[in-house]
Amino acid sequence: MSFDIHCHTCNLGTRTAKRKNPFTGNMQSVPVDDGLTDAERAAVRELLKSAGAAKPDDFGSYAVEFKDGGSAEVFASELGSSEQCDGLMASVHGVTPELVKFLWDLCRAGNMSATPIMEDEVVVVVCEEQRARVQGRWPSAVVIGSPDELSRLISGGVAAWQAYRDQVVGE
């Protein structure tokens, strides 16, 4: 099991499109974003490569592992394609200082916000410029100025996730 963090482009568009809600079948208006720029895609690919994940597996996942025991799978199949890439998802398998620094650098390199999937959901950005760009959609977005601040923020979510995981597997 993993602790997931969704990263989304800060290049938010002003357009909307009508799409069918897959759960209700009702048509709804959804935002259409501009996606990562070519430079942002290249920066994310370079960061993944520097972390030992030069290319994705058959499922579009980049596996990163760090010397301090942190690891994650980064799902970003659109990075190397001509499709628009609005973001990615990191499935974290243990929070360590090196992994948290990687996640923080990932948001910087890709100009992305991060939403750790935890009970008290919060959208985080790594600088004031990003916060200004996403404020219309996520007015309560929080600026995280360092990997240490990101670690403190997600540590509570990870602890709750670990307790849930242990309950599910009967430990």
Residue 161 — very low, low, confident or very high, per pLDDT cuts 50/70/90? very low
Distance in angstroms (rounded) separating the CA atoms of residues 98 and 14: 36
pLDDT of residue 162: 47
Whose tokens are 């990003």? That residue is 130
Residues near 55 by beta carbon (within 8 Å), at least 6 away in sequence? 62, 80
pTM over 0.75: yes
Residues near 14 by beta carbon (within 8 Å), at least 6 away in sequence? none
pLDDT digits (tens, 9 = 90+) for 52-97: 998 889 888 999 999 999 999 999 988 878 888 999 999 998 789 9
pLDDT of residue 171: 60
3-state secondary structure of 48: helix
3-state secondary structure of 32: strand
In the chain the domains, ranked by start, together with CATH numbers, are: 3-12+38-169 (3.30.310)
Span 11-40, average pLDDT: 90
Within the chain, what is the greatest distance between any pair of CA atoms? Answer: 48
